[in-house]
């Protein structure tokens, strides 16, 4: 069976924190069939050549957001990227840019998780309602205001695409701001003023210089760059509203 398969060279950026001073590239010759994803290529290496190769994956169908990596320098989900599209050229896998490498293709996401927590990614009701009062109603128009930004799977490819995040790791970044925007746009939510404090903060939207590559690489078409840039306008509006009304603006 294997003799019918084509062979593709996969170059992987390896880093073992216990033995390596810095990452280095290693090349593997991987037999593949047309239906094999890059993730399956990495799994083939792990199963057949080096069991210590470390990478994250789970669902294999572009919904869990675990298997993001740099594929020939472009942030992609490895499960929905196919080896056949690179053959006969060599393919290079690296850990997602702009994050510290934990081991091989696994990056340290703790900074992102903290940011995600800080934006309060849940509905904080405008007014608490009792069960007897029934559900919160929302019109299709109100729903359409935020639905696009709910599609985020936290894969962080947008961070790997954002040079401003690479240069300033404190920047809240495209993914978390897109989610922040999702909750601020929800008619049931009442915590926009609190979240706007973060938007306008030192780590907020003004780190963005509208490179726009985050929206380009987003596998779920969330368009995080749009969320970030709309919030530049919102933060500026809040800033100037302060002068017009004692209670206008964020604070």
Choose one: 60-68, 77-85, 150-158, 218-226; the region binding another protein (CB under 8 A): 218-226
* Distance from the Cα of residue 29 to its chain's centroid: 30
CB-nearer residue toward another protein: 121 or 212: 212
Two structure tokens written together for 81: 């990227």
Answer for the pair 27, 89: CB distance below 8 angstroms, yes or no.
no
- Among positions 223, 235, 238, 249, the unique one binding another protein when judged by CB under 8 A: 223
| Torsion angle in degrees (nearest 10) through CA of 27, 33, 39, 45 | -40
Strand ranges in the chain using DSSP code E only, listed in sequence order: 6-14, 24-32, 68-71, 74-77, 91-94, 101-103, 106-107
User: Quick one: 227 exposed, middle or buried, by C-beta within 10 A (0-12, 13-18, 19+)?
Assistant: buried
Backbone angles phi, psi at 188, to 5 degrees: -85, -15
Two structure tokens written together for 147: 């639905």
Residues 205 and 184: their CA atoms lie apart, in Å, by 15
* Distance from the Cα of residue 51 to its chain's centroid: 27
152: nearest Cα among 240, 25, 64? 64
Answer for the pair 195, 176: CB distance below 8 angstroms, yes or no.
no
- Among positions 11, 26, 80, 216, the unique one binding another protein when judged by CB under 8 A: 216
104 touches another protein by CB under 8 A: no
17 touches another protein by CB under 8 A: yes
230 touches another protein by CB under 8 A: yes
* Interface of this chain with another protein, residues 175 to 194, rule: CB under 8 A: none
- Among positions 11, 102, 194, 203, the unique one binding another protein when judged by CB under 8 A: 102
74 touches another protein by CB under 8 A: yes
73 touches another protein by CB under 8 A: yes
223: nearest Cα among 172, 150, 166, 171? 150
Q: How far is the CB of 172 from another protein (least distance, A)?
A: 17
- Among positions 14, 97, 195, 207, the unique one binding another protein when judged by CB under 8 A: 97
Residue bearing tokens 């003023």: 193
* Interface of this chain with another protein, residues 148 to 177, rule: CB under 8 A: 163, 166-167
114 touches another protein by CB under 8 A: no
Choose one: 30-38, 48-56, 92-100, 118-126; the region binding another protein (CB under 8 A): 92-100
CB-nearer residue toward another protein: 63 or 145: 145
Choose one: 113-121, 131-139, 186-194, 211-219; the region binding another protein (CB under 8 A): 211-219
Q: How far is the CB of 100 from another protein (least distance, A)?
A: 3
Site of interaction with another protein (CB under 8 A): 15, 17-18, 22-23, 73-74, 97-98, 100-102, 108, 163, 166-167, 209-213, 215-216, 223, 225-226, 229-230, 233
């Amino acid at each position: 069976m294997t003799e019918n398969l084509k062979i593709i060279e996969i170059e992987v950026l390896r880093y073992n924190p216990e033995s390596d001073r810095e990452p280095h590239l290693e090349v593997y010759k991987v037999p593949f069939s047309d239906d094999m994803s890059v993730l399956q290529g990495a799994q083939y290496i792990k199963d057949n050549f080096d069991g210590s190769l470390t990478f994250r994956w789970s669902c294999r169908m572009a919904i869990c957001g675990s298997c993001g990596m740099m594929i020939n320098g472009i942030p992609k989900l490895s499960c929905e990227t196919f080896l056949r599209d690179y053959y006969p050229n060599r393919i290079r896998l690296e850990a997602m840019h702009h994050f510290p490498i934990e081991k091989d293709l696994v990056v340290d996401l703790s900074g992102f998780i903290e940011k995600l927590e800080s934006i309060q990614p849940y509905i904080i009701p405008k007014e608490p309602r009792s069960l007897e009062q029934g559900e919160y109603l929302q019109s299709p128009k109100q729903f359409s205001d935020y639905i696009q930004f709910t599609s985020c799977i936290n894969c962080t490819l947008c961070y790997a695409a954002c040079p401003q995040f690479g240069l300033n790791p404190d920047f809240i970044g495209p993914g978390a701001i897109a989610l922040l925007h999702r909750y601020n746009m929800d008619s049931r939510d009442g915590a926009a003023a609190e979240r706007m404090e973060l938007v306008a903060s030192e780590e907020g939207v003004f780190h963005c210089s509208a490179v726009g590559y985050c929206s380009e690489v987003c596998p779920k078409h969330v368009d995080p760059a749009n969320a970030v840039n709309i919030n530049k306008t919102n933060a500026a509006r809040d800033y100037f509203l302060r002068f017009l009304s004692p209670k206008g603006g964020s604070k």
